[in-house]
Amino acid sequence: MKEYKLSKGWAWFIYIMAPLLAAVFIYLLVMPFLPDTKSSGTDQLKWFLVPISLLMIGVCVAGVIDAVKGRFVITQDSVYAKGVFTNRELLLHEIEGYRTDDRYIYIVPFDKSLKQIKVSTYFSGTGDILAWLSERFPDLDEQKAAAEEAEILSDETLGMGVEEREEQLRKARLKAKALNWAGGLVAAWTWFLPQPYEVVIFLCILLPIICLLLVKSSKGLIRMEEKKKSAYPSVFSGVLFPSLALCIRALMDFNLLQYGNVWKGTLMLAGLFMTVLLVRSKEFTFRSAKDYGLAFGITILVLAYSFGAVVTANCTWDNSTTSVYHAQVTGKHISSGKTTTYYVSLTPWGPQTKEDDVSVSKALYNRLQAKDDVSVYFRQGWFGISWFFITP
């Protein structure tokens, strides 16, 4: 019998971090009820903080218990895994094979009524577990990839003979790889050094469209979803990274006065993109829950792309007349999270009839102080989405 547990490094990380996180959420749990923090705002906030805090405290406790008790055991005639909420066992003759991803090793049974066993890749000795599995059972990912390649090479729509289809597959892989690399490089360019601005925005908007056209023109050979060890090449990274870059630049670089036309444009562009992608698609067959989940995930990504494309194009190529207004800074604050955003509060100006927060660069934030006067430059937008920026 061999037993495997969470590696010591990860175990100690959980032992240290879980109590610290639990302490934070315990404070958030009791904060709305403390006399010094009670107000109408915290009274409403407690309906959000209380359930979230209870959930996260439970997750922290479960994480510690799982780090102590969680294990995977190989016996002479079975394997079993123990955790906080699971205790699963499979006899060796019940195992069809195994699959892997970045987080887990999945031991899959022949009988679909039996549940597969998941072994965390953070366990010590996962290399030994994989070696033991590979000696006795097939790698289901490799089996599927081989079946997919056989399917491709037998598809007469891709060429007259096997050699021609092999060449089509080789070219498709090269094209997909080039677009994925281009997507990553353009996204990095857009995130870290977006100059010349119009060029990087244009490339970020263009690359997902090229990926979409390549998917549609490949007769099902090139896919949108990226699967480990799949024989089908994917352009997922070529869509993902430019879309995220566009969305981030739209949120960081522009202040919009109203969002009505943003949502209209976003939904129209996303609807068009998804319609072109899904019509006569060999990838999205909608025969299982997984197909619907995949379509939902791609839709979220396309919505992020569409939002970023609409906002950045509206402001980048706006040739409308600029109206100049004047306002005064009434305060400023910083919002910190995965990114840091700097805000100044302005008195009403022009079409902005209420005091409002405006995001600015770090340099401008450090330069401005309360009661400073600023100029507000207001424009109508290429798509009729009004926006503005301020200068001292």
Torsion of the alpha carbons at 80, 84, 85 and 88, rounded to the nearest 10: 0
pLDDT in tens, 141-186: 888 888 888 888 888 888 888 888 888 889 999 999 999 999 999 9
What's the whole-model pTM score? 0.74
Confidence (pLDDT) at 47: 66
pLDDT reading at 367 higher than 60: yes
Return the structure tokens found at 68. 């102590």
Cα–Cα dist 318/382, whole Å? 5
The three-class DSSP label of residue 214 is helix
Residue 352 DSSP one-character state: B
Confidence of residue 302 (pLDDT cuts 50, 70, 90): very high
Pairing of strands 2-5, 104-109: unpaired
Q: What sections of the chain are H helices per DSSP?
A: 8-30, 40-69, 126-136, 140-153, 162-192, 197-217, 236-253, 260-278, 289-316, 362-367
Structure tokens at 385: 């989405």
Spatial separation of the C-alpha atoms in residues 113 and 46, rounded to whole Å: 42
DSSP three-state, residue 347: coil
- Euclidean distance between the first and final Cα of the chain, in Å? 73
89 closest CA partner among 69, 115, 64, 60: 115
Give the distance, in angstroms, between the CA of residue 144 and the centroid of all CA atoms in the same chain: 26
State the Cα–Cα distance between residues 252 and 292, nearest whole angstrom. 32
Please write the tens of the pLDDT for every residue from 77-110: 999 898 877 888 999 999 999 998 888 899 999 9
Instruction: Select from 3.30.160, 2.30.29, 3.30.450, 2.60.40 the CATH code of 1-138.
Output: 2.30.29
Q: How far is CA 86 from CA 63, 75, 116, 277, 368, in A?
A: 13, 18, 11, 39, 56
Q: Looking at residues 15-28, what average pLDDT do you find?
A: 87
Fold category of 323-391 in CATH: OB fold (Dihydrolipoamide Acetyltransferase, E2P) (2.40.50)
Tokens representing residue 121 in the block: 């890749």
- pLDDT value at 42 more than 50: no
